[in-house]
């Protein structure tokens, strides 16, 4: 078992499988050992919430299938972690990090999990996350859950992990899996991808099925891949695609998706691209060091043939303020999800979860549950609140029609480029896709990336741009898991 898993790609793994150097079962054992050595001891980054008790059996079955009938495709035998809000109809609960749901077992796989299994992926386990995707309370650090504890940034444990897909991002960065699945409502893939120096694809809402994913917002939720390379993220994205008639959001994408996203992995993808930089507003919080990293990335894109449109400002950006959409949709969406878990489910409503937490305050209320209470008692759960209806319409107008759409049309852009995840709120409310790619490291701590954003179902363009930038720079480097960068 001499195969080295650190920074290995899916293509590397498949080559080792094909040559007989490695088996899927051996690979799963290697990841389990690395999790034991570095996630649960050593630096103790605490990103993996549960290991699938059947992972070795599944891997062995994939090995046998490879020997007898051949590989199903690029994900055959590849170990993948899932964020703990993605249902698996197996021996692992789906808790969203909540102790109230620690014994909540889904009756079946989420649609995207079924697609991953069909592709031959080995579901290695569940990744820790910010509890209820940061809808638990105010002031709780990203990456904390009552069930899993605090996820730590492997580049510097004194800096944030980002959230809410913290465990997914950290596990990928620290090489505890080949790739992982995260979910995003507003920055939850892009934020940890940026801070953990990994690639994160936040797809168009409706590109991937949300059936079987513990929800936050019916209008903004989406799953997405997180990996160490754009290619591996695209492989995971491709495997999870497929039409799900149970998810109404998927109807808008009929006929708009390519047959294979791998066709857009073009190293010359920046040549002739028009990329807009919204310099106003989105750069106000950058440090000089972060701005220097961003400007270096822009210069590289220009050198690689892109036309950079400076000051492609989004005129509505300063008008985008707090919206009640998430608070209202969370209660309605969560109660609908819980109602479908069957008679043996430990919790049936948001109100029952709040009561459970009150009964177990030491274990569950380290930071309180203010947001859960606000969602239960300050929203009707029927989506008829006047402010909700107004806010939803305003979000679409300011973020989509008069925001991203208007700016890209005015400047004839292929994409907008944001520092880190600073544009995630805008893209999230519009339901639009983004891809985060590593762009460098700050002196004292976390990584720093850039995010390409475009309009609905323009993932092919984003993949082309992100892949070209990655191949032209290869900024990512792994954390040492022993000392901090600096």
Catalytic site residues? 83, 164, 188
End-to-end C-alpha distance for the chain, whole angstroms:
33
CA distances from 365 to 96, 197, 354, 355, 377 (A): 15, 31, 10, 11, 18
Helix residue spans in 346-458 (DSSP H): 350-359, 361-364, 370-377, 386-395, 406-411, 424-430
Helix or strand or coil: residue 222? strand
Beta bridge partners of 86: 213
For 65, residues 6+ apart whose C-beta sits below 8 A from its C-beta are 71, 72, 76, 120
Q: How far is residue 19's CA from residue 133's CA, in Å, rounded to a whole number?
A: 41
Look at the block and give the residue holding tokens 């891997």: 59
Beta bridge partners of 447: 441
Q: How many angstroms separate the CA atoms of 28 and 61, rounded?
A: 12
Strands (E), 171-255: 179-184, 199-202, 222-227
Provide the 3-class DSSP secondary structure of residue 364: helix
Q: Which residues contact 41 (CB under 8 A, 6 or more apart)?
A: none
């Amino acid at each position: 078992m001499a195969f080295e898993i650190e920074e290995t790609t899916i293509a590397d793994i498949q080559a080792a499988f094909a040559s007989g150097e490695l088996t899927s079962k051996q690979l799963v054992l290697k990841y389990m050992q690395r999790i034991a050595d570095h996630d649960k001891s050593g630096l103790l980054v605490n990103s993996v919430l549960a290991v699938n008790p059947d992972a070795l059996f599944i891997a062995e079955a994939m090995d046998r299938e490879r020997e007898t009938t051949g590989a199903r495709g690029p994900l055959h035998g590849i170990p993948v972690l899932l964020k703990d809000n993605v249902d698996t109809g197996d021996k692992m609960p789906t808790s969203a990090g909540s102790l109230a749901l620690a014994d909540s077992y889904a009756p079946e796989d989420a649609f995207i999990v079924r697609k991953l299994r069909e592709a031959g992926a080995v579901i290695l386990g569940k990744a820790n996350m910010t509890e209820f995707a940061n809808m638990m309370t105010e002031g709780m650090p990203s990456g904390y859950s009552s069930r899993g504890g605090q996820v730590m940034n492997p580049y510097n444990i004194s800096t944030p992990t980002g959230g809410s897909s913290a465990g997914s991002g950290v596990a990928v960065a620290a090489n505890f899996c080949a790739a992982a699945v995260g979910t995003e409502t507003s920055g939850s893939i892009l934020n940890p991808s940026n801070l953990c120096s990994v690639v994160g694809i936040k797809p168009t809402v409706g590109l991937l099925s949300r059936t079987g994913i513990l929800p936050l917002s019916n209008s903004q939720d989406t799953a997405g891949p997180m990996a160490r390379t754009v290619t591996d993220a695209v492989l995971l994205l491709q495997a999870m695609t497929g039409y799900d008639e149970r998810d109404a959001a998927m109807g808008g994408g009929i006929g708009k998706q390519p047959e294979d996203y791998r066709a857009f992995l073009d190293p010359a993808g920046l040549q002739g691209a028009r990329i807009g930089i919204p310099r106003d507003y989105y750069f106000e919080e950058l440090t000089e060091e972060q701005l220097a990293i961003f400007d270096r990335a822009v210069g590289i894109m220009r050198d690689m043939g892109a036309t950079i449109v400076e000051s492609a400002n989004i005129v509505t950006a300063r008008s985008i303020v707090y919206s009640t959409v998430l608070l209202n949709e969370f209660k309605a969406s969560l109660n609908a999800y819980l109602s479908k878990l069957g008679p043996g489910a430990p919790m049936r409503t948001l109100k029952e979860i709040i009561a459970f937490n009150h009964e177990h305050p030491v274990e569950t209320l380290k930071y309180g549950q203010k947001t859960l209470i606000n969602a239960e008692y300050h929203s009707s759960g029927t989506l008829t609140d006047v402010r909700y209806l107004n806010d939803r319409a305003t979000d679409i107008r300011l973020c989509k029609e008069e925001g991203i759409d208007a700016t890209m049309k005015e400047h004839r852009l292929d994409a907008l480029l944001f520092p880190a995840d600073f544009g995630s709120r805008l893209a999230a409310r519009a339901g639009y896709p983004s891809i985060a790619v590593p762009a460098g490291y700050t002196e004292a701590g976390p990584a720093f990336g850039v995010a390409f954003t475009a309009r609905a179902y323009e993932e092919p363009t984003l993949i082309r741009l992100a892949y070209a930038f990655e191949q032209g720079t290869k900024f990512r480097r792994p954390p040492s898991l022993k000392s901090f960068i600096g």
